[in-house]
Structure 1
Amino acid sequence: MTAPLLGQMMDVPLTVSSLIAHAARHHGGTQIVSRRIEGDVHRYTYRDCEKRSKQLAQALIALGVAPGERIGTLAWNGYRHLEAYFGVPGFGAVCHTINPRLFPEQIAYIINHAQDQYVLFDITFAPLVDKLAPQCPDVRGWIALTDEAHLPDMRTPVLSYETLIEAEDGEYEWPLLDERSASNLCYTSGTTGNPKGALYAHRSSVLHAYGASLPDAMGLSSRDAILPVVPMFHVNAWGVPYAAPLNGAKLVLPGKDLDGKSLYELMEAEGVTCSAGVPTVWLGLLAYMREADVRFTTFKRTVIGGSACPPAMLRAFEDEYGVQVIHAWGMTEMSPLGTLATLNWEQSQRPLEAQRALLEKQGRVVFGVDMKIVGSEGEELPWDGVAFGDLHVRGPWVIDRYFRQENGSPLVDGWFPTGDVATIDPDGFMQITDRSKDVIKSGGEWISSIDLENIAVAHPAVAEAACIACAHPRWTERPLIVAVLKPGATLTREALLAFYEGKVAKWWLPDDVVFVKELPHTATGKLQKLKLRERFRDHVLPTALAIENCPLGEPGTDR
């Protein structure tokens, strides 16, 4: 057998440090702006960021941290946290971002499971650290992301980040690491058990940054100023901290204040052109803008993901404020980029409503990701926009196995099962119809809770809605809408149910509506349907009460 003819190109490893090195060398004067925990706005450049990242690497080496060891972070979106994104993996250690919104017991489990050697934390989390430290005896030290003057009064002995890095000169050469070595560690939110770790590689992180930068993804360039609203502790802020320096884009980091007023003022002050975040944050921004009667002057597009973007929100951004919404889908196990809803040339020539029908879906894959839907027997289903099944994915930034679970892989025939139920249409646009655990099974047929939620949110009086399954003596499960009204709005159960007429098949019509003051969310902004199902476990649907007096008919006719 003839040996293959190998290419004669340089074998330059794809490393996270190369991203900040590129930005410092070729976009050195571009600004990174941060709203600090201390209360002021901090400005410096990519050139400054690389030097301080090198100082951090030197400081951690001086503390005895070895390549491969994990360094945790409990921090908001700010310049010091950004330095950890480069300084930690830059010398071969692993940057482990931790979600501070989880329960302390979950956080302690994550720190211990990751075997973090040191934990960097913003001073707003000082009380949390005091709770965690006794539960995490193997952590060698806690480092406050501040200077000596702002060190909080704590029971736990802590080090000052600024004091540590000021002792170093920054004259450090990034080592040439194996691009397949670990760079970052992110844990799932643990809604169905203990959180699980996704261990990213330098190679996968750089490829993901490339993919996120494509014109049909975030479309970043050096002319952009991007503000990641999605926290840096949530799947690496969807890769923005790596995609921004890859392109030389101005980076605006909002800190802890994510209310509508704070975000709007920062966007306007810094000329932000694009952003990324979950729907719950954008609800607050839209509400503020309507109340204050203000408009954007530079903001042009935003990626919305984390949970399904209601069509009403997409239309509000585009029709009222001229902001392009890029609906996206992904997950921690995918680094997280999976699909984004953008139109090709032919699709952009279709009637407006046909275009919007596509853009309201989760979109099509970028190069690097492949997907398919499979049926109950594992057979691949057609891309006809009708058949729906379990969504499977694969690609160079999709996990092969979970961290420290080396004896088993979640893959099925080389594909990762996402736990989502979806359709794929002939254009290749994927639409999540439900999580597999949230789909409503009525009389042997499936009903999409997401579709019913989107209709509810389209009602002008509804701020947010969730759809869950309730037990039914005839149909096994029927849909219940749990809705939150907008401030000052009034709406009856009957009026909201009537709003569904003609919008879905008759047997999809919800059986009941309950109004609540607020809905429970996970630490990453997703609806906590498990809590809702527990809360309404004993809820009796009116159709179930009336069933003895109703003739056997279609679901929905009981009402």
Structure 2
Amino acid sequence: MTTPLLGQMMDVPLNVSSLLKHAATYAGDTEIVSRRVEGDIHRYTYRDCEQRAKRLAQALIRLGVTPGERIGTLAWNGYRHLEAYYGVTGFGAVCHTINPRLFPEQIAYIVNHADDRYVLFDTTFAALIDVIAPQCPQVKGWIALADEAHLPSMATPAFSYETLLAGEDGDFDWPVLDERWASNLCYTSGTTGNPKGAVYSHRSSVLHAYGASLPDAMGVSARDAVLPVVPMFHVNAWGIPHAAPLTGAKLVFPGKDLDGKSLFDLMETERVTFSAGVPTVWMCLLQYVREAGKRFSSLERTVIGGSACPPAMLREFEDVYGVHVIHAWGMTEMSPLGTLVRLNWEQSQRPLEAQRRLTEKQGVPIFGVDMKIVGDEGRELPRDGVAFGDLHVRGPWVIDRYFRSEASPLVDGWFPTGDVATLDPDGFLQITDRSKDVIKSGGEWISSIDVENVAVAHPAVAEAACIACAHPKWTERPLLVVVKRAGENVTREELLAFYEGKVAKWWIPDDVVFLEQLPHTATGKLQKLKLREMLRDHVLPTANAGAAGVA
């Protein structure tokens, strides 16, 4: 047997720091624009960004942070958050982005589970830090992303980020790291039990950036001005903070102001060509331009994911405003990109309605992601667009196991997503249902089990179920279905008030329906599918307000 011939190419590790180094070297004058929480607009370049990221790395090393340790961030989309993406990971530490929309107890759990050494936070979250800091004794320090003049008044002692950076000179060479080392840590929203961590590697993050930048994926290029509305605390803003430096694209960060007028004004001022976000944000933006009689002068395309894009939204963007919509699907465990809608040459020649039926699906896997659907016995089902089964995926940026978990969720080397879907002969994925009964409101998950557990804790409630109900603004909102205890009475208002302080406000159901009994299987399991069918025509009292753009 002959010995295989090995390639004779350089073995250069894929490090996240190389993305920013490339941008600083070859697109050094390209702008990064941020609307700051201080209220002004900040401008600098990729060259400036790398210099400050190196100072952050020096400061963290001076504070005693070592490779492998986690540094948390609670921040909006902005230049300082971008610096953390690279300053933390560049010397081998792990950047742990935290979703501030979670309930404080969940945030404290995540910080503790990740064993964060330091947490960087925007000053708008000062009150939140005061709540969680006493519950996180292992955190060595809290770092406010501000200068001394803008340090918030708070009970928790905090460093000034700018003061820390001012103490360093930026004379720092990014070390060459093992590409298998962890770079970033993101937690799921805890749809079943506590949130679970997905640990991305340098290799997976760089490959994901390449995949996201493909012309038939996000197609981020050096000619783009990119405004990521999707938060940097939400699965790394879908990889944009890595893809933009890879290509040298201009970055525009919106900060905390995500209302329609603020987004539109920033897009127009900075000549934004490409954006990405969940449907809820785009509903507000479209409502603003519609009512104000505005037109987009530079926006060419947007990625819509997190929740299914309503067909009416897709058509308004494209037919009325000439903005191409790229429908996408993914998940935290996939870094997150899995599929994006793209029509090949043959599909683009089909009648318009046939094209639109394809674009309303979740799209085709990008290179780097493979997927299949399997039936009850684990056998792969045909890709005929009719058979539906459990969706399984695999690829170099798909999770192998969760953080601090010995057991792997993989089934024969594939990750079971928890979604039920079809795959058609064109390769298009369509999600038909979810195997877990979670509600996705405005791109964020809500645990139906947690909502139910609060309800059944009420002394007048015998049984409760929480299901998703359609909403014109948030796509889905929780609807609580309750069976009262015999001889007890409770009103809708009393039940909703019972949730105050027990879950995040946006988890509180929009309505309550009282039934004599809930449907069950012969083994006593609740039949949520049947319950959804029973209540599919239910109209939430918030639906009209939501359609009018009222939160």
Q: TM-score if structure 1 supplies the norm length? A: 0.81
Q: Secondary structure at the match of 1:67?
A: coil
Q: Match for residue 326 of structure 2?
A: 326
Aligned with 2:357: secondary structure?
helix
Q: Secondary structure at the match of 1:207?
A: helix
- Contact 2:370–2:393, Cα closer than 8 Å, also in 1: yes
Question: Cα gap change, 1:109/1:166 in structure 2, threshold over 3 Å: closer, same or farther?
Answer: same
Structure 2 residue 386 is matched with structure 1 residue 409: no
SS in 1 for 2:385: coil
- Cα-to-partner distance string for 1:275-332 (whole Å, 9 max, x where unaligned): 0000111111011111111010000100000011111111111111111100000000
Residues 1:219 and 2:219 aligned together: yes
Q: Which residue of 2 aligns with 1:163?
A: 163
Q: Give 2:515's aligned residue.
A: 538
Change (3 A) 1:481 1:114: closer
Letter in 2 for 1:333: E
* Residue identity in the other structure for 2:375: G
Cα RMSD, aligned residues only: 2.7
**Which residue matches 1:372?**
372
Q: Which residue is equivalent to 2:117? A: 117
Corresponding residue of 1:133: 133
Q: What is the distance in 2 between the residues matched to 1:316 and 1:540?
A: 42
Provide the rounded CA distance (Å) in 1 between the counterparts of 2:289 and 2:110: 38
Find the counterpart in structure 2 of residue 192 from structure 1: 192
Partner of 1:13: 13
Residues 1:278 and 2:278 are matched in the alignment: yes
Aligned twin of 1:431:
430
Q: How far does residue 262 in structure 1 lie from its aligned partner after superposition?
A: 0.4
* Structure 1 counterpart of 2:480: none
Q: SS state of the match for residue 86, structure 2?
A: helix
Structure 1: which amino acid aligns with 2:419?
D
How far residue 429 of structure 1 moved from its aligned partner, in angstroms, is: 0.2
- The code of the aligned residue for 1:538 comes to L
Q: Which residue of 1 aligns with 2:481?
A: none
- When residues 65 and 300 of structure 1 are mapped into structure 2, their CA distance, relative to the original with a 3 A threshold, is same
Distance 2:63 2:278 in 1: 37
Letter in 1 for 2:57: A
SS in 2 for 1:183: strand
Is the partner of 2:5 in helix, strand or coil? coil
Aligned to 1:26: 26
Q: CA–CA distance in 2 between the matches of 1:268 and 1:360?
A: 28
Q: Which amino acid aligns with 2:255?
A: G
* C-alpha deviation, 1:482, in angstroms: 4.1
In 1, distance between residues paired with 2:211 and 2:468?
37
Deviates more, 1:430-439 or 1:229-238: 430-439
Look up the SS of the partner of 1:33 in the other structure: strand
Structure 2 equivalent of residue 234 of structure 1: 234
Counterpart for residue 208 of structure 2? 208
Taking a change above 3 Å as real, the CA distance of residues 210 and 485 of structure 1, as seen in their structure-2 partners, is closer
State the AA in 2 paired with 1:236.
Answer: N
Q: Distance in 1 between matches of 2:34 and 2:517?
A: 50
* Cα displacement (A) at 1:5: 1.2
In structure 2, what residue type is equivalent to 1:57? A
Q: Distance in 2 between matches of 1:382 and 1:258?
A: 42
Task: Write the distance in 2 (CA, Å) between the matches of 1:240 and 1:159.
Answer: 28
Instruction: For 1:229-268, list aligned pairs within 5 A.
Output: 229-268=229-268
1:73 aligned onto 2:73: yes
Residues 169 and 238 (structure 1 numbering): CA distance in 2 closer, same or farther, change over 3 Å? same
> Where does residue 418 of structure 1 map in the other structure?
417
- 1:402-459: CA deviation from partner (whole Å, max 9, x where unpaired): 0000x200000000000001001000000011111349xxxxxxxxx99xx9xxxxxx
With over 3 angstroms needed to count, the CA separation of the structure-2 counterparts of 1:481 and 1:196, relative to structure 1, is closer
Within 1, Cα distance between the matches of 2:415 and 2:515?
A: 35
Hey, what's the Cα distance between the residues in 2 that align with 1:190 and 1:401? Answer: 16
- One-letter amino acid of the structure 2 residue matched with residue 411 of structure 1: L
User: How many Å separate the matches in 2 of 1:139 and 1:540?
Assistant: 48
Secondary structure of residue in 1 paired with 2:24: helix
Counterpart-to-counterpart distance in 1, 2:415 and 2:468: 31
Mapping for residues 139-150 of structure 1, pairs under 5 Å = 139-150=139-150
- 1:283-294 equivalence runs, <5 A: 283-294=283-294
Shift in CA distance, 130/438, structure 1 to aligned 2, threshold 3 Å: closer
| TM-superposed deviation, 1:484 | 4.8
Name the residue aligned to 1:341: 341
Task: Give, in whole Å, the separation in 2 of the partners of 1:378 and 1:184.
Answer: 32
Tell me the CA shift for residue 192 of structure 1.
Answer: 1.6
TM-fit CA distance, 1:3: 2.9
Equivalent position of 2:547 in the other structure: none
Does the C-alpha gap of structure 1 residues 288 and 173 become closer, same or farther in structure 2, counting only changes over 3 Å? Answer: same
Identical-residue share of aligned pairs (%): 76
Q: In 1, Cα distance between the equivalents of 2:417 and 2:298? A: 36
Query: Secondary structure at 1:21's aligned position in 2?
Result: helix
CA–CA distance in structure 1, aligned partners of residues 256 and 192 of structure 2: 28
1:366-412 CA deviation, whole Å, 9 max, x = no partner? 1100000001111100011111010000000000000000x200000
Query: The residue matched to 1:100 in structure 2 has which SS?
Result: coil
- What SS does structure 2 have at the residue aligned with 1:372? strand
CA change 1:361–1:537 in 2 (3 A) is farther
**What secondary structure sits across from 1:423 in the alignment?**
strand
- What residue in structure 2 maps to residue 303 of structure 1? 303
Cα distance in structure 2, aligned partners of 1:303 and 1:199: 24
Shift of 1:95: 0.2
Cα shift at 1:483: 5.1
Distance of 1:480 and 1:131 partners within structure 2: 31
User: Any residues of structure 2 matched to 1:544-555 within 5 Å, and which?
Assistant: none
Cα deviations by residue, 1:8-43 (Å, 9 ceiling, x for unpaired) = 101111000000000000000000000000000000
Query: For 1:507-534, what per-residue CA distance to the aligned partner results, in whole angstroms no more than 9, with x for missing partners?
Result: xxxxxxxxxx9xx9xxxx9x96xx6599
2:528 counterpart residue number: none
How far apart are the structure 2 equivalents of 1:485 and 1:214? Answer: 32
Please give the alpha-carbon distance, in whole angstroms, between the structure 1 residues aligned to 2:511 and 2:71. 37
* Residue 481 of structure 1, CA deviation: 8.5
What are the ranges of 5 or more consecutive residues in structure 2 without an aligned counterpart?
A: 442-465, 474-495, 519-532, 538-551
Separation (CA, whole Å) in 2 of partners of 1:78 and 1:4 = 49
Conservation of the 8 A alpha-carbon contact between 2:437 and 2:467: no
Task: Please give the residue correspondences for 1:483-494 in structure 2 after superposition, counting only pairs within 5 Å.
Answer: 484=471
Q: Which amino acid aligns with 1:227?
A: L
AA partner of residue 204 (structure 2): S
Distance 1:4 1:141 in 2: 53
Q: CA deviation at 1:154?
A: 0.9
Tell me whether 1:59 sits opposite 2:59 in the alignment.
yes
- 1:485/1:159 Cα in 2 relative to 1: closer, same or farther (>3 Å)? closer
Distance 1:289 1:184, change over 3 A: same
Aligned mates of 1:482, 1:250 — CA distance in 2: 39
Question: 1:372 corresponds to which letter in structure 2?
Answer: K
Distance 1:42 1:232 in 2: 18
User: How far apart are the structure 2 equivalents of 1:394 and 1:372?
Assistant: 9
